[in-house]
């Protein structure tokens, strides 16, 4: 028998970026807020101390800070005709676990989606006509516009101390920034990071080709910073141990040093760790949530936590899993393309171009998670897709993130993989290589979705989430086009060797790391028949349930997601504070 | 049966647990130096193996030495502690399948679905070494470690391409696992038993743990930054 606990106003499931933001905003509003986090609490001191934290094997290869898949994982298949099998070890993406979520060990590359990304279906139809949209592509608009979200993007960027160069302030183009970006109300809170040699070379080559390179917006602090909540961040040391690691200098914005301690200043916020939420409990009519049930993973004991408002902030995949486990909303059926929960799962198409310079030295170990230079000329709506026959695009990036030698050993094509020649080449080229990557969009497709697995179970005896997913023709065209541009820029840098063109051209594999940018599954929309949550990320079916995260994206853009995820979290918090609390119930008529 | 390999394996088998001087065999230090006498030195990996039996150890040493031969750039994989590294990983939590979902039912799956073996990494390596040994004895009448260099190369290359049929173990998966162990052992922090004297880091010019480059990123833009690499033990 589960022990019933004292009710709270709001229970938040998951204490990463979205959960942390809601905790701060809703406890500021005077609500009693409880955060439940399945993982442990970690603090910069002592958990990220040097030298312990600078251990590539432990953190980057053995994934110490990530979700433990022995307890819960998902099953995967490329298409419904296959049998989904468990992801038995982490690979393609790396969900976080513990206070701070994936915000502890992210890279901090922080973009806004462009205005057209927020109204993609309308924009594509306007520009190319309805017939340009391929059969089976579930292209959709966000129900809220870029302009509506702008203040919330801004709020996230100031909270997280983003270092960057604005390209468009209130409609005025600013030299050196991204001229394609949507208008921002003000510049970034911190100047850009210092450029690396490869960044300087990439920028020059891209400009020469007529493109518009700009410094990648970074949650790595270019200088010490105190955010509007009074939280202090340190100056980035370009230590090359960012992604996969906690930052010992507090120089990478993370929930555990920003929004969560800010919420903890409020006596009406409390945090319970090692509390694994297994379901949302519903009232008999199925229209309202009673609260959640969780297991204390230290003891195995079960608890019922009643709450007036339930916020799922369990990472996009976790949100969808919990909705399906709790019977909230109609599960999506790809046969009939009806139902909404699990619909619109998207990912990203990435590719790399490696350049090698006989007479250069890049000191690759001097890097920061977000250090890089970006060309956005072939992303979103920034170019004419007409001749190319696909929707979407990619940011094309030179990155200087790390030179950790288990993972980072670039070798020119044709180099042996072992033996004396391999050793010599590994030593020779380590400091002489620069890379360019594409981060491409991914459109929702009828056959790509999330559901419950019929066979495999997690440690709590519950069905695993099942992912049915593959890249589509549209996305392969996108990758071919943008990878060629990346390759051209690479050649313009004048390298001694360059890797061959290698766009994404084969079906999706769950094995190699690509990105932790899983989106969709509980998408936002104007119509309860085609979306799981309304414009305030409120469930259409259960009105006191808010589902926050990239699960709400109708499709994925050619950017990292967290700028948009953070904006959505602030937007939702605002709607709960200023709309829902005054008049609980559906905020948008169904 | 007087060949070196077998003698050595008998020797390994015979000396058992108390053989501190076996360090001479796998490393350059015959006598573990007192820590205080040489504070900058890497901790000397304890001699002997926790997981690998003598036959498996002989294979592992030959395998890592094939991948990482002694040459002007570095001592051999075995001398660098790479076989010891692999042994410790196989003996530890990773080898036993920590952080892996190992529940059935089992199906072969597609390559895109990744690891579907019911075995934890240590079981897979154990079964794989035995299967590869059987293969080598069948084809060449010799264990892997006694094959001539060309034959070893042929075997490793075929394994890497998944071209050898091994009983019970997908050969590509075995190769990928062994290859990962060897490269980790060369480049991971020496605290794990490999990368002795930070030779892997010296090979590429990775400065290790110390990393405050807020000034260096500009000062050394276009110039090679050289520093004595620092490991976790150096700073602890
Ligand atoms: C290696 C890596 C690099 C990344 N780099 C970037 C980048 O450069 N730029 C970018 O924009 N994004 C990046 N991301 C993605 C970014 O971290 C996420 O977009 C962001 O953290 C999402 O916020 P969230 O609140 O949705 O999820 P998270 O921050 O992951 O938080 C979710 C939390 O919920 C908890 N939880 C889940 N299920 C339950 C449950 N049942 N009960 C209780 N708690 C639960 C989890 O343990 C976790 O702590 C990166 C991610 C990774 C892993």
Instruction: Give, for all 590 residues of chain A, the pLDDT tens digit.
Output: 899 999 999 999 999 999 999 999 999 999 999 999 999 999 999 999 999 999 999 999 999 999 999 999 999 999 999 999 999 999 999 999 999 999 999 999 999 999 999 999 999 999 999 999 999 999 999 999 999 999 999 999 999 999 999 999 999 999 999 999 999 999 999 999 999 999 999 999 999 999 999 999 999 999 999 999 999 999 999 999 999 999 999 999 999 999 999 999 999 999 999 999 999 999 999 999 999 999 999 999 999 999 999 999 999 999 999 999 999 999 999 999 999 999 999 999 999 999 999 999 999 999 999 999 999 999 999 999 999 999 999 999 999 999 999 999 999 999 999 999 999 999 999 999 999 999 999 999 999 999 999 999 999 999 999 999 999 999 999 999 999 999 999 999 999 999 999 999 999 999 999 999 999 999 999 999 999 999 999 999 999 999 999 999 999 999 999 999 999 999 999 999 999 999 999 999 98
What angle in degrees, to the nearest 10, is found between the helix axes of A562-575 and A146-159? 100
The model's pLDDT over B38-50, given as tens digits with 9 standing for 90+, comes to 334 444 445 799 9
- Is the shortest distance between the CB of A565 and ligand 1 below 6 Å? yes
Q: What is the mean pLDDT of residues B178-194?
A: 98
Sign of CA dihedral B22, B25, B26, B31: positive
Distance to chain A for B103, nearest Cα, Å: 8
Q: Which of A63, A200, A406 shows the shortest C-beta gap to B99?
A: A63
**pLDDT-based confidence at B211, cuts 50/70/90?**
confident
The model's pLDDT over B95-124, given as tens digits with 9 standing for 90+, comes to 999 999 999 999 999 999 999 999 999 999
Identify which of A315, A400, A563 to mutate to test ligand 1's pocket (most ligand atoms within 8 A of the CB).
A315
Note the pLDDT of residue A590: 86
The model's pLDDT over B7-36, given as tens digits with 9 standing for 90+, comes to 333 333 333 333 333 223 333 333 333 333
Q: What is the CATH number of domain A3-77+86-580?
A: 3.50.50.60
Strand partners, A210: none
**If you measure CA to CA, which chain A residue comes closest to B184?**
A406
| CA A130/CA A322 separation, integer angstroms | 35
Residues of A in contact with B63 (CB under 8 A): none
Whole-Å CA distances, A453 to A74, A84, A96, A204: 8, 8, 22, 50
| CA A40/CA A304 separation, integer angstroms | 20
- Is the shortest distance between the CB of A312 and ligand 1 below 6 Å? no
Q: Which tokens in the block code for residue B174?
A: 């075995």
- Could you tell me the residue ranges of all domains in chain A? 3-77+86-580
Asked if B205 and A430 count as a contact pair (C-beta separation under 8 A), the reply is: yes
Q: What is the CB neighbour count within 10 angstroms for residue B34?
A: 7
Q: Which of A77, A237, A361 shows the shortest C-beta gap to B212?
A: A237
| CA A261/CA A229 separation, integer angstroms | 10
Q: How many CA atoms lie within 13 A of A263 on its CB side?
A: 30
Residues whose CB is less than 8 angstroms from the CB of residue A347 and which lie 6 or more positions away in sequence, other chains included = A442, A469, A508, A514, A515, A517, A518, A519, A556
Note the pLDDT of residue B46: 52
Which A-chain residues 189-208 have CB contacts (< 8 A) with chain B?
194, 196-197, 200
Q: Which tokens in the block code for residue B157?
A: 């290359």
The model's pLDDT over B62-79, given as tens digits with 9 standing for 90+, comes to 999 999 999 999 999 999
Of chain B, the percentage scoring pLDDT greater than 70 comes to 80
- Is the shortest distance between the CB of A318 and ligand 1 below 6 Å? yes
What angle in degrees, to the nearest 10, is found between the helix axes of B171-187 and B121-140? 110
Instruction: Say yes or no: A234 contacts chain B, CB-CB below 8 A.
Output: no
- Is the shortest distance between the CB of A252 and ligand 1 below 6 Å? no
Note the pLDDT of residue A1: 80
| CA A279/CA A324 separation, integer angstroms | 9
**Do residue A89 and residue B66 have CB atoms under 8 angstroms apart?**
no
| CA A440/CA A377 separation, integer angstroms | 13
Identify which of A66, A102, A103, A298 to mutate to test ligand 1's pocket (most ligand atoms within 8 A of the CB).
A102
Q: How many CA atoms lie within 13 A of A278 on its CB side?
A: 19
Q: What is the CB neighbour count within 10 angstroms for residue A49?
A: 12
- Could you tell me the residue ranges of all domains in chain B? 8-19+34-102+112-235
Note the pLDDT of residue B25: 30
Sign of CA dihedral B117, B118, B123, B127: negative
pTM (two decimals): 0.94
Catalytic residues of A: 517
- Is the shortest distance between the CB of A38 and ligand 1 below 6 Å? yes
- Is the shortest distance between the CB of A96 and ligand 1 below 6 Å? yes
Q: Which of A56, A78, A200 shows the shortest C-beta gap to B112?
A: A78
Please report which residue ranges of chain B form alpha helices under DSSP H.
4-15, 23-26, 54-67, 82-91, 121-140, 149-160, 171-187, 199-204, 216-219, 232-235
Residues of B in contact with A457 (CB under 8 A): 103
Which A-chain residues 320-359 have CB contacts (< 8 A) with chain B?
none
């Amino acid at each position: 028998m589960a022990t019933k606990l004292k009710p709270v106003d709001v229970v938040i499931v998951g204490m990463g970026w979205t959960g942390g933001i809601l905790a701060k905003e809703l406890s500021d509003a005077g609500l009693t807020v409880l955060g439940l986090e399945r993982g442990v609490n970690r603090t910069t001191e002592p958990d990220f101390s040097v030298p312990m934290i600078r251990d590539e094997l432990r953190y980057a290869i053995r994934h110490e800070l990530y979700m433990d898949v022995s307890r819960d994982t998902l099953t995967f298949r490329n298409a419904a005709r296959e049998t989904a099998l468990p992801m038995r070890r982490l690979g393609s993406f790396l969900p976080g676990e513990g206070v701070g979520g994936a915000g502890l060990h992210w890279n901090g590359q922080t973009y806004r989606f462009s205005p057209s990304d927020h109204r993609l279906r309308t924009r594509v139809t306007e520009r190319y006509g309805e017939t340009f949209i391929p059969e089976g592509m579930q292209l959709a608009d966000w129900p809220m516009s870029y302009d509506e979200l702008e203040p919330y993007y801004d709020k996230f960027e100031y909270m997280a101390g983003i270092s960057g160069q604005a390209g468009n302030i209130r409609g005025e183009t600013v030299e050196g920034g991204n001229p394609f970006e949507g208008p921002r109300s003000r510049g970034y809170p911190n100047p850009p990071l210092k450029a690396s040699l490869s960044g300087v070379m990439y920028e020059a080559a891209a400009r020469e080709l007529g493109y518009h390179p700009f410094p990648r917006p970074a949650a790595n602090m270019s200088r010490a910073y105190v955010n509007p909540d009074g939280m202090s961040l340190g100056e980035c040391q370009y230590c090359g141990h960012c992604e996969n690691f906690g930052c010992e200098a507090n120089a990478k914005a993370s929930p555990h040093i920003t929004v969560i301690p800010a919420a903890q200043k409020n006596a009406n916020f409390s945090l319970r760790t090692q509390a694994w939420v297994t379901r949302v409990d519903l009232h008999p009519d199925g229209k309202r949530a009673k609260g959640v049930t969780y297991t204390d993973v230290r003891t195995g004991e079960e608890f019922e936590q009643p709450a007036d408002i339930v916020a799922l902030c369990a990472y996009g995949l976790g949100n969808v899993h919990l909705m399906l486990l709790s019977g909230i909303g109609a599960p999506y059926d790809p046969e009939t393309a009806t139902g909404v929960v699990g619909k619109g799962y998207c990912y990203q198409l990435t590719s790399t171009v490696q350049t090698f310079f006989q007479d250069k030295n890049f000191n690759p170990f001097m890097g920061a998670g977000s250090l890089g230079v970006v060309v956005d000329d072939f992303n979103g709506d920034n170019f004419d897709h007409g001749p190319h026959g696909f929707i979407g695009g990619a940011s094309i990036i030179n990155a200087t993130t790390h030179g950790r030698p288990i993972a980072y050993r670039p070798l020119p094509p044709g180099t042996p993989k072992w033996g004396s020649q391999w050793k010599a080449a590994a030593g020779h080229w380590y400091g002489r290589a620069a890379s360019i990557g594409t981060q491409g969009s991914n459109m929702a497709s009828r056959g790509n979705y999330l559901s419950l697995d019929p066979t495999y179970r997690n440690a709590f005896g519950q069905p695993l989430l099942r992912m049915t997913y593959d890249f589509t023709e549209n996305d392969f065209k996108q990758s071919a086009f943008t990878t060629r541009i990346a390759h051209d820029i690479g050649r313009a840098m004048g390298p001694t060797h360059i890797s061959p063109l290698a766009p994404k051209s084969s079906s999706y594999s769950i094995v190699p790391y690509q990105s932790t940018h899983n989106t969709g599954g509980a998408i936002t929309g104007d119509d309860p028949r085609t979306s799981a949550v309304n414009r305030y990320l409120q469930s259409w079916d259960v009105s006191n349930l808010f589902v926050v995260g990239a699960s709400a994206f109708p499709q994925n853009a050619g950017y990292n997601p967290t700028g948009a995820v953070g904006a959505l979290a602030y937007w939702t918090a605002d709607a709960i504070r200023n709309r829902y609390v005054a008049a609980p119930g559906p905020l948008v008529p169904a | 049966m007087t060949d070196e390999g077998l003698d050595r394996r008998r020797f390994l088998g015979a000396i058992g647990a108390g053989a501190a001087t076996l360090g001479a065999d796998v490393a350059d230090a015959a006598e573990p130096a007192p820590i205080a006498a040489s504070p900058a030195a890497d901790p000397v990996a304890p001699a002997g193996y926790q997981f690998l039996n003598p036959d498996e150890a002989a294979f592992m040493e030959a395998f890592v030495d094939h991948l990482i031969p002694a040459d002007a750039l570095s001592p051999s994989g075995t001398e660098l502690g790479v076989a010891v590294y692999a042994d410790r990983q196989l003996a530890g939590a990773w080898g036993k399948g920590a952080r892996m979902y190992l529940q059935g039912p089992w199906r072969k799956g597609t390559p895109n679905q990744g690891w579907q073996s019911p075995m934890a990494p240590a079981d897979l390596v154990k079964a794989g070494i035995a299967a590869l040994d059987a293969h080598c004895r069948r084809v060449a009448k010799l264990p892997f470690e006694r094959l001539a260099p060309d034959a070893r190369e042929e075997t490793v290359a075929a394994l890497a391409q998944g071209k050898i049929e091994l009983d019970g173990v997908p050969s590509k998966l075995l190769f990928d696992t062994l290859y990962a162990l060897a490269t980790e052992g060369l480049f991971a922090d020496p605290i794990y038993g490999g990368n002795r004297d930070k030779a892997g880091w010296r090979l590429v010019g990775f400065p290790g743990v110390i990393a405050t480059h807020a000034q260096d990123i500009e000062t050394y833009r276009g110039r090679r930054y050289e520093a004595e690499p620092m490991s976790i033990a150096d700073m602890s």
